[in-house]
A and B are shown apart, each in its own frame.
Chain A
Amino acid sequence: MNFSILHTDKLCKTFSNGGVQQHVIKNLDLEIYKGDFTVIMGSSGSGKSTLLYALSGMDKPTLGNVYFGEEDISNYSNDDLAVFRRNHCGFVFQSIYLLDNMNVFDNVMTAALALQKNSPQLVKKTEELLKKVGITEEAWKKYPNQLSGGERQRVGIVRAVINEPQILFADEPTGSLNSASSSDVMDIFTELHSKGQSIVMVTHDIKTALHGNRVIFISDGTVIGEYEMPLYNTDDLKKRREGLQNFLDRMGW
């Protein structure tokens, strides 16, 4: 039985600009299940990133509610949301957003120490994770501008998972990467998912979306379709791709 970790109730998000209101999310009801790799897809301007940030407590909804478990986080103050994020969420961004004034190791430790006290275990864990994503010891003291895009994103992933978040949010994690780097990054996501990590990812790339097991398609601020896939397996990739493509075609992709 699927266990809901996050759900929304008539979620609305409206932006105002010069008196003109733009309703980006409209009365959206959605459930995110524990252990799922949920992929949110949609055309440009459909509101998928806005939905991700509303779900993750990066932004507050205009109306409606977001529940984390039984807890309504939509009325949290900004500081409460920050505490919520560090306790429960991890983030991977398209622009990566590493701290330019810190080296690789400190970038990860900054996130880790926001929640945990320093310990030899934490340092060891950071080292292991970095090694695992292919960031070698020589690169630990490098600064973000001395890394390639792929390396930076891998550091970003380590930073996102160092606190073992209940949900990992990813906004176009491969958007700024080349094909090889994208593949590496998505392999890491797949591995994390296989170990039970709940992931919510926004993407417009089918190849990336194939790594998920549940695809939600939104259009004009509402969910118009949902597609479920078995766990990612490279053996049935062709069939998996066809299935997703058909779904997307039906959604008007």
Chain B
Amino acid sequence: MGKITRLSLANIKKHKFEFISLLTLVMVCMLLVGSSLGAIVGIRNIFTNVMEKTGSYENYIFILEKNYNKEYENILKQHPEVETVTAVDTLWSMNTGYIDKNGKESALYMAFITADNEAKISKSPMDSTLSNEEIAALEHPIYAPYILQDSMGYKAGDTFDITYGTRKFSFTIAGFYETMMFNEMGSGLKMIVSEKDYHILSGLLPKYKAILYNDNQGQGGYELMDSFLEECEDYSRLDIKSGLVVFTYGDMKLMVTSSAELLLNLMIVMAVIIFISVVVIIRYRIANDIKEQIVNIGILEALGYTSKEITLSYVIEYLIMAAGGVLIGTGGCFLLTPVLLRMGELISAHRGCGNSNPLMIFLTGIVILVLVGMTAFIRARMVRKYPPVQTFRKGQGDHRFGREFFPLRKTKYNVHLRLALKGFFQNFKQNIGLTICITISALTVVFSFIISSFFGDGLNTIASISGIEMSDLRLEIMPYADGDVLADELEEMPEIRKATPTSGFNTLITISDFNEIMLPVAFSSFDETENIFPMEGRFPEHDNEIMLNNQIATVKKIKVGDSLTLEYLNVKKSYLVTGIVTSVTNGNMNLYITEDGMKRINPTYKPDVIEVYLEEGIDAQEFRKILTEKYGRSLSDAASSKAENGTYEERIRAEAEQQIAELMASNGATHIEYSIQFGDTIISGNSSNFVVSAITNIGEIMRTQLGSSCTAIRIVTAVFMVISAVVVMIILFILMESAIRRDRREFGIMKGLGYTSRELMFQLACRIVPSAVFSVIIGTVIGVTMTDLLTSIIGVVKVNIPQVIVLDIVMLIFCFVCAYVGARKIKTISVYELMTE
């Protein structure tokens, strides 16, 4: 065994660069797979750990308070899967925002709850660096989910300004806590506030009743929830589904770990790609090494070494390399896994990862060692093909039946290209391995590039597939206001380019064919829209036509031309599907319908939202103030304003407006009039000036919800592209070095004939071009197809083909340059040494 190991060590010593390169690749591979598998178990435990730690309920239903009835809890309790039920008061709005540390206002959905109510639904302790005395001294304390500390950098004692309309509420962060629901930017954050602050906010924000229940770890699922809601509607005869927010056990479980798991799985895929490359290189190197050292092998065989022993020396050589890589990689895993676990916590916005799993790390190492050993053994067994006599003839057989590729007598253009092609076909088998490696890398690069450009274009690309209008301001108007009249008025303003009435979130309708709740997006004419694009078919034009979002159409196998039945409060009507729309917003609920179509199923329907498109150069935030001035403040603004200055009459009016606002917000009043007499003066007014209930900026909301995800995706895809490029570079360097060593004599002869080193480097680099071209084309086709397949559920994600072609060209140039630079060792070949050896 000792003599065999000596042979292996001698070989390693001779090829240090290749040894270190391969060791590095194995190390990276070990690091990626080991740490991902080590962390994945911990990340999968987050959900269970957090559920246990917080004692959270398993399912949540948020019903608008005005639609709530105490009897609902009893209805729910009657379901056999339901174990426990409770209901608490909360506030929740999509129109809230916050002032970030740079003073910039950003959209952020928020829910509010009192500490007492929170204690009813969770046992999560409050975590604070402030003393009890300090907390007690805070005027407006607020407890926020951990994400505010972990991702947004707030700490206890910091000021946290919440905005609603044009109003600002200043809170001081008293501490942080763990919560199962409303813990991240996408769904919004649940803030715990004092009774006093809750009361103030409840005068402005929509009030919800949160019904929470356990159903034995999600056994009831959506079926139970749907059936419960139906029963509630039957009981109350109210449209409780409109304005409804629900989260099932399954939803939450998926939300908690899916992103982190996806990232780890991508890391594993990357590692597998690297490992395939390692296997190809090992095969290539062994084959080359045997050919290069064939005479020495013959001598060893003649000296009595068996082919098995020589094979074993190769296996040991590569096992030493793999062991080195695995060992360093394992060390790295123990450093990287905690980082990944923390990253998993940050992505899931929960604290509660389990520990890393060392067993998975060790198993990964063993699997890598076994695979490397097997690869080396299988390839090195080719030694058996060469008996000593043949090895002395440098492996040449008695006959040569090989086909002659690219005879030089037929050279038409460049002799270097022809010689390169000749070389390519002479080493065709080995080039298959190279082709596989570059194909996989090209596939990774193209896929990463498409995804990166998709998420990297300042949200513009995502906006284009959002399936909703991306206006500058979205005005939610009061139920009694006439949207069409207001839109006409707004269009008169010079700052406004266009104002389009549409539907809000207040009405949900059901496709009764498969009992799916949908959110109608209604326009009088879809020709007025700017960001809704049918990927198939056309816009609905008549009152019996609709378009569906692509996800629901795909899942339910609905095609253009199919007929569906819509249901709203027991009214059922049939509609023709005229188009399919790419849409990634509102949880796949968007359904596109004309105003007339809406009126067919809901005769009292009228637009309750106006999409306002501003002229270029108009600042949306600034214009929001102008709108407030012109149409009176929004309800939220009016309800909180304090008219401490001004005349007596002005103060009376301000107070009256506040009262109106509060009544409308909290009691759902649609029209209020007042008359106040003091002395001989009568001050009267009504609520008709309150036409705007809220103003939001969809773009801002998207930026808050998706901005960090887009950045993360861009970083991950960029890392993938860099790793792929490095892998390709290392492969090409190793292949070039091996090729030069193997063909050293031939290159020396050609130098003697007058070929320069640069010409030979060019020839060698050109040899990989056919493989590279083929690989890049195949990689691109697979990459684009894969992207299409993966995104088909969303709809049409336009791949920028010219950009991909430029990327392909860059990849080819990169491969060529790497090969050219990798071939630089040709320069070290001395003709003289060769001639005199």
The chain A residues found within 8 Å of chain B, CB to CB, are 49, 53, 58-59, 78-79, 82-87, 89, 91, 93, 95, 97-103, 105-106, 109-111, 113-115, 118, 123, 126, 141, 143, 145-146, 159, 171
A106 surroundings in chain B (CB, below 8 A): 404, 407-409, 422
Is A91 a contact partner of B752 (Cβ separation < 8 A)?
Answer: yes
**Contact present for B755 and A101 (CB under 8 Å):** no
A70 → chain B closest CB, angstroms: 21
Considering only residues 680-719 of chain B, those with a C-beta below 8 Å from chain A are none
Q: Nearest Cβ in chain A — how far from B828, in angstroms?
A: 10
B426 / chain A contacts, CB cutoff of 8 Å: 101
- Neighbour of A99 across the interface among B409, B749, B832, CB < 8 A: B749
In the complex, residue of chain A having the shortest beta-carbon distance to the beta carbon of B749: A97
Known: A143-B400, A146-B400. A110 touches B419 (CB 8 A): yes
Residue in A86, A100, A143, A145 whose CB lies within 8 Å of B746:
A100
B835→A83 contact, CB < 8 A: no
From B410, B412, B753, A114 is in contact (CB under 8 Å) with: B753
Pair B754/A86 contact, Cβ less than 8 Å: yes
For B752, what are the chain A residues with a Cβ–Cβ distance below 8 Å? 58, 85, 91, 97
Interface SS of chain B: helix
Complex: chain B residue closest to A163, CB-CB: B754
The smallest C-beta distance from A173 to any residue of chain B, in angstroms, reads: 13
Query: Which chain A positions have C-beta within 8 A of B751?
Result: 82
Verify B754–A145 contact, CB threshold 8 A. no
Interchain CA distance A111-B756 in the complex, whole Å: 12
Contact B832 A118 (CB under 8 A): no
CB-CB under 8 A for A93 and B753, given A99-B746, A105-B407, A145-B396: no
Bound-state CA distance A118–B414 (Å) is 9
**Is B754 in contact with A115, judged by CB distance below 8 angstroms?**
yes
Please give the number of chain B residues whose Cβ is less than 8 angstroms from any Cβ of chain A in the complex: 37
The 4 closest A-B pairs by CB, nearest first: A86-B754, A109-B408, A113-B415, A79-B756
B196 contacts chain A at the CB level, 8 A cutoff: no
Q: A118-B415, A145-B396 are in contact. Are A83 and B408 (CB under 8 A)?
A: no
CB neighbours (8 Å) of A78 from chain B are 756-757, 827
Contact B393 A145 (CB under 8 A): yes
* Identity of the chain A residue whose Cβ is nearest the Cβ of B833 in the assembled complex: A59
6 sample A-B contacts, Cβ–Cβ < 8 Å, listed by A number: A58-B835, A85-B753, A100-B746, A106-B408, A118-B410, A118-B415
Given that A53-B832, A58-B831, A110-B419 are contacting pairs, would A118 and B411 also be in contact in the complex, using a CB cutoff of 8 Å?
yes
Determine if A114 and B835 form an interchain contact, defined as CB atoms under 8 angstroms apart. Answer: no
**CA of A114 to CA of B763 in the docked complex: distance in angstroms?**
12
Q: Are B755 and A114 in contact (CB under 8 A)?
A: yes
With most chain A CB atoms within 10 A of its CB, the pick from B743, B752, B758 is: B752
- Chain A residues lying within 8 Å of B831, measured Cβ to Cβ, are 58-59
Query: Are B750 and A141 in contact, with the CB atoms below 8 A?
Result: no
User: Cβ of A105 and Cβ of B408 under 8 Å apart?
Assistant: yes
Q: From B831, which residue of chain A is reached at the shortest CB distance?
A: A58
- A159: B residues at CB distance < 8 A: 753
Instruction: Give A141 to B748 CA distance when docked, in angstroms.
Output: 23
B836 close to A (CB within 8 Å): yes
Chain B hits for A86, CB < 8 A: 753-755
| Beyond A86-B755, A105-B409, A110-B419, 7 extra complex contacts between A and B, CB < 8 Å | A79-B756, A82-B759, A83-B754, A91-B752, A93-B835, A98-B749, A102-B408
Contacts of A82 in B (CB 8 A): 751, 754-757, 759
Considering the complex, give the chain B residue whose CB is closest to the CB of A116.
B415
Q: Are B746 and A101 in contact (CB under 8 A)?
A: yes
Determine the distance from Cα of A114 to Cα of B393 in the docked complex, in whole angstroms.
29
Does the CB pair A109–B411 fall under 8 Å? yes
Take A141-B404, A145-B393 as given contacts and tell me if A85 and B754 are in contact as well, using a CB distance cutoff of 8 Å.
yes
Out of A53, A87, A102, which one reaches B835, CB within 8 Å? A53
Residue on B nearest A162 in the bound complex, by CB: B753
With A58-B752, A105-B407, A145-B396 already in contact, the answer to whether A79 and B832 are too (CB < 8 A) is no
Q: What's the Cα separation between A106 and B752 when bound, in Å?
A: 16
- In-complex Cβ contact of A110 among B408, B412, B745, B756 (8 A): B408
Residue of A nearest to B751 (CB): A82
Distance of A217 Cα from B757 Cα, bound (Å): 34
